[in-house]
């Protein structure tokens, strides 16, 4: 085992250590440490990706010196490494572009605490990507819930408090369901580690004992994780949380954390239960229809918003719908498309939240559309970035969103008649709806403002922020142009994954 | 069916308690009651786990008098899970209580619907 095999473990440990150390640091030092840690995690994850591309299969890493049933284990493959690289890249760029305006929302005294929460969130995301143990996954689900709630409530106003309380309550309900599911699964199989679990589940399935408890377990865990990632009928907490939290927290929450739950769900389907049993339980159909409903309803609700940040938040609900639709197709191509959509949405959504904040702040902090007229001229960089990421959301060619939709559509072709038609129609309708509200916003930020309105003098935006936003924008465009290699990694990774 | 429920009386009770806690957390408007519901819900899960690990007639897995064969002891894993779960639910209770205190200081009520209404009016003004 070479040094590079240890990198995923290092990334997790590094984030946790940084969280501990940050608690005694001054705000300025805390800020730089958090930036440094996310950069190091990005580099190490990229190195892991390169390593796994050379390996033929994924490998398990023993934590501590105890073998699997006693010690803890993480498992690393191409897919995990790719996702870790993507998410840490998005996080790093979000931090660079977002940290400078955090003093508007967090008092100087509490800034270090905010940085701790970012570190812990990153650590939990990494653990959820790599872990091979269901109970470890549960513990880190809880840690990420606390961290993300804290990321939201740093902003001290009534709306944010109410939104955060709602968020916490919904997440607690979901955690309860997941925990009960895991307890039941442990009860019928006697394992928590994923490989022995899968063997035991197969045995149970073949003998036909405990068929009903198994279905209940699948339902509990799926619904729990669906609530946490804001799938359509369970999305009620999402729009307020995203709209009233600090923009950087919304970017992290919507761009990274909600995806980590979905990745865990994919892991649960592939590695714990097995996809053939999932198909038998018909939970994939449930996710499929919820996803389709979310794509349409999320966009419809986004259209009816008059506040730009709520609109962006509702579009998250629609985009998560795409991911679940791909997942619900229960085919290799569908899941691969869903994973690609996760990456594309992650890159574009964080940009969207950050550039929205810039546009709003040059318009006197008014979030209504009519006061945003001309914002694209007052802050040129944010205008361009918003336009490109909105194009990715709509699915204009040469952006990540277009390719994701293309893969989703082509994954639907081999499906049976009704489902295929439904996917294609839903994709067409939701693209149209997306175009309605995003292009309307783009047009309104480039509209000439009324002459008698006085805007506050544009505040200075540091150059590195503009640079970070543009790098991230290039990432979105790259996902649209150079999607071939990434898709090949996802597909070969999925084969390793099972 | 009833026979099976009776034989697994602990698990049956645990699931019923879980349901009660879940509904309280979801539907009660009073924040303190919600927190109590959260605790009922998580305690029910611990009962479920602990009763699963218990094997009738055996002892807690603490080595006394040099007895080391596993056959004399109950399964220690669920007990470990319960401990982890307790830590988690304590921290969540703390977090919820902190949020409740903040909301109460601001709005002088514990009713989440009223609070949401007042927050909305704040924005309009």
Q: Where are the domains of chain B?
A: 2-55+74-124
Number of H helices, E strands in chain A: 21, 2
Q: Which residue of A has its CA nearest to B94?
A: A146
- A329 and A383 part of one domain: yes
Q: Which residue of B has its CA nearest to A135?
A: B81
Cα B37 to Cα A47: distance, rounded to the nearest angstrom: 46
Residue A386: CB atoms within 10 A of its CB come to 28
Q: Among A4-8, A163-167, A214-218, A293-297, where is mean pLDDT lowest?
A: A4-8
**Contacts for A451 with CB less than 8 Å, ≥ 6 apart:** none
Cα A125 to Cα A88: distance, rounded to the nearest angstrom: 9
Contact B18 A176 (CB under 8 A): yes
- A264 and A331 part of one domain: no
Number of H helices, E strands in chain B: 5, 0
Contact A192 B77 (CB under 8 A): yes
Max alpha carbon distance in chain B (Å)? 73
- A353 and A448 part of one domain: yes
- Structural domain boundaries, residue A120: 1-275
A 111-140: CB under 8 A from B: 135, 139
In angstroms, the separation between the Cα of residue B72 and the nearest Cα of chain A is 18
Quick check: A164 contacting B, CB < 8 Å? yes
Instruction: Specify the number of domains making up chain A.
Output: 2
Strand partners, B111: B30
- Per-residue pLDDT of A294-347, as tens digits, reads 999 999 999 988 888 889 999 999 999 999 999 998 888 999 999 999 999 999
Q: Which of A186, A56, A202 is nearest to A133 (CA)?
A: A186
Phi then psi dihedrals of residue A62, to 5 deg: -85, 125
Quick check: B123 contacting A, CB < 8 Å? yes
Contact B52 A186 (CB under 8 A): yes
Phi then psi dihedrals of residue B97, to 5 deg: -65, -40
Cα A231 to Cα A290: distance, rounded to the nearest angstrom: 7
Token pair for A403? 């390719």
The residue among A229, A249, A275 that closes a domain is A275
| pLDDT (0 to 100) of residue A70 | 74
Q: Which of A115, A201, A152, A494 is nearest to A326 (CA)?
A: A494
**Contacts for A414 with CB less than 8 Å, ≥ 6 apart:** A331, A333
Check: CB of residue A52 under 8 Å from CB of residue A76. Answer: yes
The average confidence (pLDDT) of chain A is 88
Contact B103 A172 (CB under 8 A): no
| pLDDT (0 to 100) of residue A296 | 92
Q: Which fold has domain B2-55+74-124?
A: Helix Hairpins (1.10.287)
Asked casually if ipTM beats, i.e. exceeds, 0.90, the reply is yes
A 421-440: CB under 8 A from B: none
Distances A181 to A198, A213, A496, B45 between C-alpha atoms, Å: 15, 9, 26, 10
Quick check: B72 contacting A, CB < 8 Å? no
Token pair for A38? 């996310």
Q: Among A98-112, A239-253, A364-378, where is mean pLDDT lowest?
A: A364-378
Q: If DSSP codes are grouped into helix, strand and coil, which group holds residue B125?
A: coil
Residue with tokens 């929205």: A356
Higher per-residue pLDDT: A39 or A451 = A39
For residue A139, what pLDDT band results from cuts at 50, 70 and 90? very high
Cα A488 to Cα A411: distance, rounded to the nearest angstrom: 15
- A178 and A251 part of one domain: yes
The residue among A253, A275, A297 that closes a domain is A275
Q: How far is CA A287 from the centre of its chain?
A: 17
- A374 and A298 part of one domain: yes
A359-383 average pLDDT score: 80
pLDDT of residue B124 exceeding 60, the answer is no
**CB nearest to B81's CB, from A135, A157, A175:** A135
* Inter-chain contacts counted by CB atoms under 8 A, chains A and B: 90
Token pair for A124? 């939990």
């Amino acid at each position: 085992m070479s040094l590079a095999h240890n990198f995923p473990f290092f990334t997790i440990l590094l984030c946790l250590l940084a969280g501990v150390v940050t608690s005694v640091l001054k705000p300025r030092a805390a800020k730089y440490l958090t930036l440094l840690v996310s950069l190091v995690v990005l580099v190490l994850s990229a190195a892991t990706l390169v390593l796994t591309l050379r390996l033929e299969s994924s490998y398990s890493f023993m934590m501590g010196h105890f073998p699997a049933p006693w010690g803890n284990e993480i498992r690393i493959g191409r897919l995990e490494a790719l996702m870790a690289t993507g998410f840490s890249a998005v996080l790093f760029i979000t931090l660079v572009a977002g940290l400078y305006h955090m003093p508007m929302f967090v008092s100087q005294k509490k800034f270090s605490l905010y940085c701790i929460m970012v570190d812990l969130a990153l650590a939990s995301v990494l653990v959820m990507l790599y872990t091979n143990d269901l109970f470890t996954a549960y513990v880190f689900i809880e840690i990420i819930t606390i961290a993300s709630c804290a990321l939201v409530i740093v902003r001290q106003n009534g709306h944010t408090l109410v939104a955060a309380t709602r968020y916490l309550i919904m997440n607690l309900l979901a955690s309860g369901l997941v925990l009960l599911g895991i307890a039941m699964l442990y009860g019928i199989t006697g394992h928590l580690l994923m490989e022995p679990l899968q063997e035991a589940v197969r045995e149970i399935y073949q003998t036909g004992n405990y068929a009903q408890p198994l279905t209940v377990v699948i339902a509990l865990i799926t619904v729990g994780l669906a609530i946490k990632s804001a799938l359509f009928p369970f999305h009620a907490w999402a729009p307020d949380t995203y709209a009233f939290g600090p923009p950087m927290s919304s970017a992290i929450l919507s761009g990274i954390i909600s995806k980590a739950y979905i990745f865990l769900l994919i892991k649960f389907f592939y590695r714990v239960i097995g996809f053939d049993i999932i198909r038998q339980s018909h939970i994939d159909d449930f996710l499929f229809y919820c996803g389709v409903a979310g794509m349409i309803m999320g966009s419809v609700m986004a259209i009816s918003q008059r506040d730009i940040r709520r609109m962006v938040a509702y579009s998250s609900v629609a985009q998560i719908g795409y991911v679940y639709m791909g997942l619900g197709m229960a085919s290799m191509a569908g899941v691969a498309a869903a994973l690609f959509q996760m990456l594309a949405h992650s890159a574009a959504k964080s940009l969207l939240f950050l550039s929205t904040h810039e546009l709003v702040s040059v318009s006197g902090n008014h979030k209504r559309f009519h006061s945003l007229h001309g914002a694209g001229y007052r802050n040129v960089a944010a205008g361009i970035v918003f336009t490109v990421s909105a194009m990715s959301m709509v699915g204009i060619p040469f952006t990540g969103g277009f390719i994701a939709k293309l893969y989703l559509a082509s994954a639907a072709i081999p499906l049976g008649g009704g489902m295929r038609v439904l996917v294609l129609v839903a994709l067409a309708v939701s693209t149209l709806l997306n175009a309605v509200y995003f292009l309307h916003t783009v047009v309104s930020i480039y509209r000439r403002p009324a002459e008698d309105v006085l805007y506050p003098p544009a505040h200075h935006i540091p150059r590195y922020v503009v640079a970070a936003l543009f790098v991230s924008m290039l990432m979105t465009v790259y996902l649209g142009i150079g999607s071939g290699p990434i898709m090949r990694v996802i597909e070969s990774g999925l084969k390793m994954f099972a | 069916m009833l026979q099976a429920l009776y034989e697994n009386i602990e698990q049956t009770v645990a699931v019923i308690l879980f349901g009660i806690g879940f509904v309280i957390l979801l539907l009660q408007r009073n924040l303190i009651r919600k927190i109590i519901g959260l605790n009922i819900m998580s305690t029910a899960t611990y009962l479920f786990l602990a009763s699963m690990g218990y094997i009738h007639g055996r002892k807690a897995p603490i080595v006394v008098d040099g007895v080391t064969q596993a056959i004399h002891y109950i399964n220690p894993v669920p007990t470990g899970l319960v401990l982890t779960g307790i830590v988690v639910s304590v921290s969540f209770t703390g977090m919820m209580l902190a949020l409740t205190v903040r909301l109460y200081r601001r709005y002088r009520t514990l009713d989440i619907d009223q609070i949401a209404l007042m927050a909305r009016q704040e924005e309009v003004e």
